[in-house]
Every structure is written in structure tokens, then in C-alpha cells.
Structure 1
Amino acid sequence: MFNVDQRERVQAQLLTLAEADPEVVGAAITGSQAVGAGDRWSDIDLAFAVNGELGPALVRWTETLYKKFAAHHHWDLPSGSTIYRVFLLPAWLEVDIAFTSADEFGPLGPTWRTVFGQITQLEPAAPPTSDHHVGLAWHHALHARICIERRRSWQAEHWISAARRQLITLSCLRLGYPTSYAKGAHLLPHELTNPLETTLVRSLDETELRRALDAVIASLGRELELTDPTLAARFQPMLIELAQPGGHTPGH
């Protein structure tokens, strides 16, 4: 895999090319490296301000990544008017470049370091609320149960794992840790994470799926008691019903 010297060399080359590109009027380092929190395994995260339409810049820069940096693959993650193009370079070096219009070039959070260009003061998007993640958690648990009843074992495993991810997010949100992609999970206390180990699905056997789902439901009840005791009290009989193999479950 890539080493730190390779990563820094590629990043420097990309920023040099950006400064020489007349249509790129701003560039910034984003992600963990922008605030000195990167490590040996951190990827390259950049943001480019484009003067004019994004399309031609995306085409041109994609050609550059393939021809000059031997990229193997790329894919896009749109966010509003910004397009994050994610490249895979040799030695498994990931390069994420956010292409955005010049009038929307600016930080939406603390992980930003301007290299050149003028930034715009943007209003950060409101983070998802705990209600949002509670809703996803019970939704995923419900559909895990439905899939078990329908004998759809792989889909049941999917929903059980998805519900667990929401439980981790809820704990991180409550304690003020990063919530996206489980970035704050390693900061959670063991008394929260140890019970979550029982939610891991060890096989697709129906008994095992029901056991893992019961563990998810129990963990959801505990988290609700910490997040919103009033809601926890309202949910308690519903969670008990959801965990009962013979209980009624609606179709989807």
C-alpha cells in the first residue's frame, strides 16, 4: 500500500496542477489532514473552486488523474451543487476531490485549510437530529423482523447491521462524537460498545438472526432511555412486541 511520502508527493503535484489551471480559482485541503489529525493511512482530500461549468473541469481533471497518476477507477458522490469525485490510484491511494463553483467555495466545517483562492462564508447544514436516527433504528429493526418471517436471511442480516449502525450513531450524537461513517465509534465507552457485540450476526440460521435482532432491540431500548426517557417509555411495549417470534408484523 501507499506510504506517507507517496501521498504527500501526489497531493503536492495535484495542488501545483490546480494552481496552474486557469479554471481552478481556489483550492483547499480538507479532511483530517487539514487540521493535523491525519495518520499513516489517511487519504487525500481536496476541494477545487471552478470558474464556470463543472462538467469540462471534471472531464479534464479525470483525464489528468488517469494519464498522469495512473488512476484505476473513479466514482462520484454529489452533494448539492458540489461533485465529489473519488479516485483510486496505484498502491490503494484514495484521492477525493470536491469540485464546486467558485461562488460556493468555502468550508462547511472545521476540517478545511485554504491553499489559494477566495472563500465564501457558507452556512453549515444542520446535522441530523436524534429523532431522525431513532426513526431509522426502529425502521431497520422492524424490517429485519419482517425479513426473518419471510425467510429472507441475507436481507434480514442487512437490516440488523443497519440498525446497529444507527445505534452507534445515536450514542455518538448524544456524547458529542463524530457521527458519520462510525468515525466516533472508537471513542465510545466500553459499557456502550460491549453489548453491541452481541448484535453481530454470526450465521444466517434463523435462530441466530432472531438472537441478533433481539440484541439490537434491547440495545435500542437502552439507548432510548439515555437519549429520550419519555420516548423510551412509549416505545417499550412496541419493542417487546417486535422481539416476540409470534407477534404480528405488518407487511412492507
Structure 2
Amino acid sequence: MGAAITGSVAVGEGDRWSDIDLAFGVSGELAPALARWTETLYRNFAAVHHWDLPSRTSIYRVFLLPGWLEVDIAFTPADDFGPFGPTWRTVFGRTTQLEPSAPPVGDHLIGLAWHHALHARVCIERRRSLQAEHWISALRGQVIALACLRLGYPTSYAKGAHLLPDDLTAQLEATLVRSLDETELRRALKAVIALLVRELERTDPALTARLQPMLTELTQPDEKTLRTGVDPPSSRSTS
């Protein structure tokens, strides 16, 4: 058995908005420990809801308490109990040295970026304004992740976004979708694609030279510039 405090509080960076993050090393099956702690959170702390997030051999049970307090508890087999990042403070028990998670790969982030750009344009052509807005916003997230990767900041969940330089943050403002009007969707998509190209130029000029002409096609008003294999507007789903 073991216990640890994790998250921002573990390294003295918590504030009144921080979650409570705990980790337990469990001997035997995880299910009984999950059940006991779930009962405790509902009975003693008036939990409103919970859900599970599996990761490696752990199960993170995420609780919502009154006042919008989030409590995240990781239940891990004792043999795998150990720091999975820098925000960890062991309370008791023996810990295991774990292999660090693989860092994000630039090609993966770039692939998601062009994927999101393509599907944003397809949704605009299909007159699916809300879905188009979703993909434009998702593309912005990939641009942020790529910039964070380049600068050595956290890439997931925009955790490094507040560390980006002001000039880049100012350019990101232009990529926000201000309405669901088709003209506005096309404007926002063009803005975020331009920012993506500039970010790619900083890290991989050769790849940029291959991708930029195709990305530029997505900003052109004539849908005939797209490949003929794109499904017509009557299609029921974006593949």
C-alpha cells in the first residue's frame, strides 16, 4: 500500500482553483478500493458525480464535489505505484521507478493539424457550421501544441499556452470564430492555417514546402480546388 499527493498542490503551486489530486498504491484487486473510496466520497463529502479514466495499469476516478471541487484519485497496483511526473509527493509506502511517458512527437501533432484543417473546410462546404467551428478550434489547439513543443512547454490540454510569447498569443486571437456565418468560418480557417504554416516554417522548412500549397488550397473560395474524392454535402458524416 502507498499514498501520494500529486498535481500542483504537491509542489506548492496550488491555489483556490486547484483540484485535489491523490494516488494510492493498492495490493490486490483495484475494485474493492475503488468501491470503498467512492462510498466515502458520496457519504462524507456529498459527491455529486464521478467517472473513470484508465491510464496504463491505473484507474483515475474523478469526483465532482459541491462548490465545483474536483477530486482526482488514482488507484494503481502496488507494483506500479510511483511518480509518473514531477508533481508528486509520497505520503507513505514504497514507490517504483516508472518509465517516463514518451514525449509528444511533432509529426503526430502536425498530422492532427492538417487533418483538422481538411475537415474544417469539408464541414464549411457541407454547411455544417457548428462542426466546422469545432475543427477550426481543434486546429488552433494543435498550433498551440506545436508552439509549446518548440519552446519546451507542456503540450497537452493547452497547459503551456499561458507561457507563449505575447506576439504569438496576439496572432492566435485572430483565429477565434466570432460567428457561425460562412464568411466568418472561412476567415477564421484562413487565419489559423496561416499561423500553422508560420509555425511549421520554424521547425521543418522541407515539410512546410510540401504542405503549404495544399494547406493554401483549403483557404481558397472555389471548392473545386479540393480533391474530387471529398464526399458531397449530402453525406451524413465527416470521415
Unaligned segments of structure 1, at least 5 residues? 1-24
Give TM-score scaled by structure 2 length. 0.93
- Residue 94 in 1 paired to residue 66 in 2? no
Residue 205 of structure 2 is matched in structure 1 by: 229
Instruction: Please tell me the residue identity of whatever aligns with 2:39.
Output: E
Work out the CA distance in 2 between the residues paired with 1:230 and 1:194. Answer: 27
- Residue 53 in 1 paired to residue 53 in 2? no
- Residue 248 in 1 paired to residue 230 in 2? no
Q: In structure 2, the residue corresponding to 1:27 is in which secondary structure?
A: strand
Unaligned segments of structure 2, at least 5 residues? 232-238
User: Aligned match of 1:152 in 118, 128, 133?
Assistant: 128
- Residue 30 in 1 paired to residue 27 in 2? no
Residue 115 of structure 1 is matched in structure 2 by: 91
Give TM-score scaled by structure 1 length. 0.88
> Any idea what the Cα deviations from partners look like across 1:180-229, whole Å, max 9, x if unmatched?
21111111001111111111111111001000100111011000011211
Work out the CA distance in 1 between the residues paired with 2:41 and 2:16. Answer: 22
- Residue 186 in 1 paired to residue 162 in 2? yes
> Any idea what the Cα deviations from partners look like across 1:30-75, whole Å, max 9, x if unmatched?
1111111112211100101111111111111101100011101111
Work out the CA distance in 2 between the residues paired with 1:236 and 1:93. Answer: 45
Identity within the alignment, %: 77
Instruction: Please tell me the residue identity of whatever aligns with 1:142.
Output: L
Work out the CA distance in 2 between the residues paired with 1:155 and 1:236. Answer: 24
- Alpha-carbon RMSD across the aligned residues, in angstroms, is 1.0
Work out the CA distance in 2 between the residues paired with 1:121 and 1:109. Answer: 11
Matches within 5 A, 1:62-211: 62-211=38-187
Residue 16 of structure 2 is matched in structure 1 by: 40
Work out the CA distance in 1 between the residues paired with 2:24 and 2:212. Answer: 49
Deviation at 1:245, TM superposition (A): 1.9
Instruction: Please tell me the residue identity of whatever aligns with 2:77.
Output: S
**What count of residue pairs does the alignment treat as equivalent?**
228
Q: Which structure 1 residue ranges, 4+ long, deviate > 2 Å from structure 2?
A: 249-252
Work out the CA distance in 1 between the residues paired with 2:52 and 2:39. Answer: 15
Work out the CA distance in 1 between the residues paired with 2:79 and 2:158. Answer: 32
Work out the CA distance in 1 between the residues paired with 2:92 and 2:22. Answer: 12
Work out the CA distance in 2 between the residues paired with 1:79 and 1:228. Answer: 32
Deviation at 1:80, TM superposition (A): 1.7
Instruction: Please tell me the residue identity of whatever aligns with 2:216.
Output: I
Work out the CA distance in 2 between the residues paired with 1:40 and 1:59. Answer: 28
Instruction: Please tell me the residue identity of whatever aligns with 1:187.
Output: L
